[in-house]
Amino acid sequence: MANFRDIIGAFKDKPGGIIEAYHALQKEYNYIPKGAVAEAARVFGISEAQAYGVATFYSYLATEPRGKYIIRICESAPCHIAGADQVIKAFERHLGIKIGETTPDGKFTLEFAECVGQCQETPVVTINSVPYVGITPEDVPAVLDKCR
C-alpha cells in the first residue's frame, strides 16, 4: 500500500489537486485517513478545518474506514418509488448491518447515494461504482455472492 504522503505530494502543483489527491487516497485505502487530511492541509497551504471540509463535502469521499465492498443504494425519488426501501431492508437483513455501517469482518459497507444516473431501470445499487439496475430484494443474495 502506498504512503499517503507520497500520494498527496503527487498532486501538490495541480489545480484542484486536493480533490484529486483525496480521490487517489480513497482508491488506495477506501477512505481518507485522518493523518492524510492534516498532510493535505500542510501540502496545499490551508487549515486542517478547510482540508477536512473538502474531504467531507462530497458524499463519495469518506473519512472513516469502510469495507472492501461499498454498496451504495440510490435514494432518489424514482428509486424510492420503485422499491429501494425494500432493497435496503434486504441488504441490511443479509449483511446484519444498517445503512452507514460496515460488517464486523470489514468486507461490506452500506451507504446511501444520490442519483447515479441510471433512472431508466430503478432501483439502482452500486458496488464499488459498478451499477446493478432494476434490482429487487430477491436479487440481493446473488449480488452479494458475486462479492464473496
Question: Given a cut of 80, is residue 1 above it in pLDDT?
Answer: no
Domain extent, residue 41, equals 4-57
Is residue 87 classed as helix, strand or coil in its secondary structure? helix
| Domain containing residue 143: CATH number | 3.40.30.10
Is the residue at 24 inside a domain? Answer: yes
124: alpha, beta or left? (left if phi > 0; alpha if psi -120 to 50): beta
**Tell me: the pLDDT tens digits for 7-30?**
999 999 998 899 999 999 999 998
Same domain? 10 vs 42: yes
Same domain? 110 vs 130: yes
Same domain? 44 vs 79: no
Give the domain-ending residue among 35, 57, 79. 57
pLDDT score, position 116 = 82
- CA 42, 63, 66, 21 dihedral sign is negative
Would you say 63 and 55 are in contact if contact means Cβ atoms under 8 Å apart? yes
Amino acid at 63: T
**Tell me: the pLDDT tens digits for 66-123?**
999 999 999 899 988 999 999 999 999 999 999 999 999 999 999 998 888 888 899 9
CA 34/CA 101 separation, integer angstroms = 19
CA dihedral 8, 11, 17, 22 (to 10 degrees): -30
Whether pTM > 0.85 for this model: the answer is no
Same domain? 48 vs 82: no
Same domain? 49 vs 106: no
**Tell me: the pLDDT tens digits for 25-66?**
999 998 999 899 999 999 999 999 999 999 999 878 999 999
